[in-house]
Amino acid sequence: MQTDSSFTFVLFGGTGDLSMRKILPALFEAHRAGGMLADSGKIVAVARHVADRADYLEWVNEHVKPHVSKNGVDETAWASFLDRIEFVKIDLGNPEDFALLRDAVSDMPGIRVFYLATGPSLFVPICRALASVGLNENSRIVLEKPLGYDLKSSNAINDAVGEIFAEEQIYRIDHYLGKEPVQNLLALRFGNVLFEPLWRREWVESIQITIAEELGVEARGDFYDNTGALRDMVQNHLLQLLSIVAMEPPHSMDSDSVRDEKLRVLRALKPIDPRDISKIAVRGQYHAGVIRGNAVPAYATEPGVKPDSTTETFVAVKVEIENWRWAGVPFFLRTGKRLADRVAEIVVNFRAVPHSALGASALRGGANRLVIRLQPNETIRLYCLAKQPGEGMNLASVHLDLAFDRFFREGQMEAYQRLLLDVINGRLALFVRRDEQEAAWRWVEPILDEWAASHKPPKPYAAGTWGPAAASAMLAQHDTCWLEEEN
Q: Which helix (H) or strand (E) covers residue 141, if one does?
A: strand 139-143
36 phi and psi angles, rounded to 5 deg: -80, -30
Length of the chain equals 487
Q: Provide the 10 A C-beta neighbour count for residue 25.
A: 20
Q: Provide the 10 A C-beta neighbour count for residue 289.
A: 17
The catalytic residue among 31, 49, 67, 237 is: 237
Residues 6+ apart with CB under 8 A from 461: 284, 285, 286, 287, 314, 336, 467, 468
Residues 6+ apart with CB under 8 A from 474: 279, 280, 282, 316, 318, 332
Select from 170, 450, 485 the least CA-distant residue to 317: 450
> Do the Cβ atoms of 115 and 23 come closer than 8 Å?
yes
Strands (E), 219-368: 281-287, 289-291, 294-296, 314-319, 331-336, 343-350
Binding site listing for substrate: 175, 179, 213, 232, 337
Residues 6+ apart with CB under 8 A from 183: none
Rounded distance, CA 37 to CA 28, Å?
10
Instruction: Determine whether 237 is an active site residue.
Output: yes
Residue 142's DSSP bridge partners are: 115, 171
| SS3 assignment, position 131 | helix
Rounded distance, CA 479 to CA 170, Å?
43
Binding site listing: 48, 91-92, 145, 175, 179, 213, 232, 337
Rounded distance, CA 146 to CA 233, Å?
9
Rounded distance, CA 396 to CA 418, Å?
39
Binding site listing for NADP(+): 48, 91-92, 145
By annotation, the residues acting in catalysis are 237
